[in-house]
Chains A and B, each alone.
Chain A
């Protein structure tokens, strides 16, 4: 496989692994599961309150979002929060440039 394929595979695997890491930890360690879910509940409520202010509508919409993202599809909420955090901190950029460096050092020299 050429350098382009190696770079893409390494970068994609690392990015997916970074996003999936939190749900896997939540599945393996129940304390992390509880802590992350509590954090997600607060994050969702604070976000909705930032948009709508205090009120009944905030509680209703927060409840709906918490049901879907924290209780029913908890791994989607955890993965999404992890992806958003990593994108905003530019961690994926570090992974991309690291994959490029790995590909250049480990792969065959292209002349």
Chain B
């Protein structure tokens, strides 16, 4: 029952997924249109309307959209992600991931141990005893 909506969604987009080349071609056109809108907006904002603005738009569009789009396309995507708050998301990820590991960026495999306080050390000891490993007794235990 839970997967029925996903199945309906998949059936609707399935014919589209078969044309991957057409999909990437159309999305490239859409991206080029957005890049062109940004160029036109930037030039009109700085130069106003006039023959110089049109000339600058044409030159910039030629190099960015038609000549070196394989560079500027990716740059534009990163620029828009950053503009919308993607950098904030990356910062949160790099702060949240170490906390998910249980400490300040430490820890790797399953059995590595980090001692931070007496209480956690006691829990560590009990954990290892339950797993049948020998631990050396320490003062205070």
Evaluate contact between A109 and B123: CB separation under 8 angstroms: yes
Evaluate contact between B6 and A24: CB separation under 8 angstroms: yes
Give the interface centre of B5, B13, B96, B127 by most chain A CB atoms within 10 Å: B96
Known A24-B9, A90-B88; judge A99-B100 contact (CB<8 A): yes
Q: Can you offer 5 A-B residue contacts whose CB atoms are under 8 A?
A: A51-B40, A61-B37, A73-B26, A96-B89, A110-B107
Evaluate contact between B27 and A76: CB separation under 8 angstroms: yes
By size class, the interface of chain A is 35 or more
Give A91 Cβ to nearest chain B Cβ, in Å.
Answer: 10
Interface membership of A40, Cβ < 8 A: no
Interface membership of A97, Cβ < 8 A: yes
Known A88-B85, A96-B92, A111-B124; judge A3-B101 contact (CB<8 A): yes
Which residues of B are interface residues toward A (Cβ below 8 A)?
5-6, 8-9, 12-13, 16, 23, 26-27, 29-30, 33, 37-38, 40-41, 81, 84-86, 88-89, 92-93, 96-97, 99-103, 107-110, 113-116, 120-121, 123-124, 127
Evaluate contact between B26 and A4: CB separation under 8 angstroms: no
Known A52-B40, A61-B37, A87-B81; judge A109-B102 contact (CB<8 A): yes
Interface membership of A64, Cβ < 8 A: yes
CA–CA, A89 and B105, complex, Å: 28
Give B13 Cβ to nearest chain A Cβ, in Å.
Answer: 5
Give A64 Cβ to nearest chain B Cβ, in Å.
Answer: 7
- The A interface is mostly helix, strand or loop, or mixed, namely helix
Of the candidates A6, A8, A68, A84, the one whose C-beta lies within 8 Å of that of B26 is: A68
Q: Which residue of B lies closest to A83 (CB)?
A: B84
Evaluate contact between A110 and B84: CB separation under 8 angstroms: no
Evaluate contact between B41 and A51: CB separation under 8 angstroms: yes
Q: Which residue of A lies closest to B16 (CB)?
A: A73
A67-111 CB contact bits vs B (8 Å, 1 = yes)?
A: 011001101100000001001101011001101100110000111
Of the candidates B5, B38, B102, B121, the one whose C-beta lies within 8 Å of that of A27 is: B5
Of the candidates B30, B96, B99, B113, the one whose C-beta lies within 8 Å of that of A68 is: B30
CA–CA, A2 and B85, complex, Å: 29
Evaluate contact between B100 and A100: CB separation under 8 angstroms: yes
Known A27-B5, A27-B12, A111-B115; judge A88-B84 contact (CB<8 A): yes
